[in-house]
């Protein structure tokens, strides 16, 4: 049996990689995928802690996180596509305005 | 034995996550993310969360990643990562800050938790998780359907070509 601190440490590693990816990359799609990585790291920690305390509530929360992530990805990608239609460029460094 | 399998799967997960943020090509990044999500599904299986492992493969590695690959194909990114970087110093600072965040996270989350270990192991079969979702989590579950409907309508409005 693997102790749950292994799982939560792995979750910390993945979350940190996601944060660094959001900061260092310029492509909004890759930034989005790094956010998915962070969500998955949090899910892993939730399941691990749920197993630690022997109940299923952690897994129910992970289910809701997955549903919210699906909605978030759909809307976020639509926003990126519509920005690309207007600006013809995709670098996040260009997007410093709140409106245009 | 279980530890060896865990270390192997964890190495795959960390390696594919690093591949996602280090490769220039966004399609390679998407494929690395699929590998990462699959290895997390394997970890769910090792923890006895069978329903979540299946949902992870179907929802994340299936539906969400198809959406990502579609968007990458439509937009064909790649030019924004080459050329001079006006924020190079800020981006280099991400490495020490990330290391600091990692140390903090491990100190908070990775420590051994006090208190007695669980006497019963919670098995995340579809039966058990479904029962929980339709009893104590019924209201958030119904709210999820409204959220998905709102997201769908919002995407249609955003993607409509303006005449």
Indicate whether A100 belongs to any domain: no
Domain CATH code at residue A25? 1.10.287.3510
Domain total of chain A: 1
Q: Encoding tokens for residue B157?
A: 């409005």
Q: Which of residues 32-61 of B touch A (CB under 8 A)?
A: 33, 36-37, 40, 43-44, 46-49, 51-52, 55-56, 59-60
What are A4-26's pLDDT values in tens digits?
888 988 999 999 999 999 988 88
Indicate whether A67 belongs to any domain: yes
Indicate whether A99 belongs to any domain: no
The alpha carbon of residue A92 is apart from the nearest alpha carbon of chain B, in Å, by: 9
What are B51-62's pLDDT values in tens digits?
999 999 999 888
Better-scored residue on pLDDT, B35 or A25: B35
Q: How far is CA B73 from CA A87, B69, B70, B94, in A?
A: 18, 6, 5, 29
For residue A66, the enclosing domain spans 4-94
B112/A29 CB distance under 8 A: no
Q: Which of helix, strand or coil describes residue B160? A: coil
């Amino acid at each position: 049996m693997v102790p749950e601190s292994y799982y939560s440490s792995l979750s910390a590693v993945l979350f940190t990689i996601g944060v660094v990816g959001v900061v260092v990359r310029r492509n909004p799609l890759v930034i989005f995928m790094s956010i998915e990585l962070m969500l998955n790291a949090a899910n892993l920690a939730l399941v691990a802690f749920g197993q630690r305390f022997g109940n299923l509530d952690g897994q129910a929360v992970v289910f809701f996180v997955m549903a919210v992530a699906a909605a978030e990805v759909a809307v976020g990608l639509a926003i990126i596509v519509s920005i690309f239609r207007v600006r013809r460029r995709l670098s996040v460094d260009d997007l410093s305005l709140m409106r245009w | 034995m279980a530890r060896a399998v865990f270390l192997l799967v964890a190495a795959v997960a960390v390696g594919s996550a690093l591949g996602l943020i280090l490769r220039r090509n966004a399609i390679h990044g998407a494929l690395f993310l699929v590998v990462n999500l699959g290895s997390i599904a394997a970890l769910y299986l090792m923890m006895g969360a069978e329903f979540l492992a299946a949902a992870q493969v179907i929802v994340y590695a299936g539906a969400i990643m198809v959406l990502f690959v579609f968007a990458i194909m439509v937009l064909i990114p790649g030019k924004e990562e080459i050329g001079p970087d006006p924020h190079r110093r800020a981006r280099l600072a991400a490495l020490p800050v990330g290391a600091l965040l990692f140390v903090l996270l491990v100190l908070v989350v990775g420590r051994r938790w006090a208190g007695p270990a669980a006497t019963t192991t919670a098995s995340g079969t579809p039966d058990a998780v479904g029962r929980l979702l339709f009893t104590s989590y019924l209201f958030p579950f119904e709210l999820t359907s409204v959220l998905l409907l709102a997201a769908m309508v919002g995407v249609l409005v955003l993607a409509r070509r303006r005449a």
